[in-house]
Amino acid sequence: MDDHTLTRSGATLTTGAPVLLIACGALAREILALKSANGWDHIDLMCLPAILHNHPERITPAVRAAVEKHRASHDRIFVVYADCGTGGTLQAACAEMGVEMVRGPHCYAFFEGVDAFTARAEDEITAFYLTDFLVRQFDAFVWEPLGLDRHPSLLEMYFGNYTKLVYQAQTDDPALTAKAEDCARRLGLAFERRLTGYGDLTATLGAL
């Protein structure tokens, strides 16, 4: 972690870089890795709580508040969320505030590449996706919020129409792959792993 990183919602560790990324906390590890690998010292990072993904109606107000709070301290703000279930409200808010955001419907699309994901989306309507973050946090973000730890009978209701779990691997980590396979087993789904790396995220942030 370098001197230009804001890592907690609303908490500024240091400021001064001309570009601020307001990002989903689920992307923090990947963005910090890209910053370090590419020497992007001109970029600050502020992450909103990843659990907002379970409440997409809260994402747009949270991003709006973060932009207003930090607008004066940076020359440029870029929002590292895709639509993420906001029904277009996030894009409308960003346009209104004059800030840019990641292209695509969700992180699964930009990790795989939005164009590639879109091309195969119709054939994968019964696929359930996990990223590195969601594999690590499967219990906290999937199993427990859906009540499957307390009511296993709900599994069929939630996942009965899915056929496979697609693990989009940002890193080549055997331990994470094994955990993703276990997630598929627990959900009763076939397993597929795709090593996507960071997908469109690298080029998108590199353009800043």
Task: Give the pLDDT band of residue 208 (cuts 50, 70, 90).
Answer: confident
Report all structural domains of the chain as residue ranges with CATH numbers, in order of start.
19-102 (3.40.50), 111-195 (no CATH)
Q: Identify the three-state secondary structure at position 191.
A: strand
Q: pLDDT band at residue 121, thresholds of 50, 70 and 90?
A: confident
d(CA 71, CA 19): 10
Integer Cα distance of 208 and 5 in angstroms: 16
Instruction: Say if CB 77 and CB 45 are below 8 A apart.
Output: no
- In the chain, what percentage of residues exceed pLDDT 90? 87
pLDDT at 147 over 50: yes
The residues, ordered by sequence, that sit 6+ positions from 18 with a Cβ below 8 Å of its Cβ are 42, 74, 75, 76
Is the pLDDT at 1 greater than 60? The verdict is: no
* pLDDT for residue 10: 39
The b/e string for 36-50 (b: 16+ C-beta within 10 A; e otherwise) is eeeebeebbbbbbbb
R_g over Cα of the chain: 17
Model confidence at 16, pLDDT cuts 50, 70, 90, reads low
Count of CB atoms within 10 A of residue 145's CB? 13
Alpha carbon separation from 182 to 144, 156, 178 (Å, rounded) = 16, 17, 6
Do the beta carbons of residue 204 and residue 110 sit within 8 Å? yes
pTM, two decimals, is 0.87
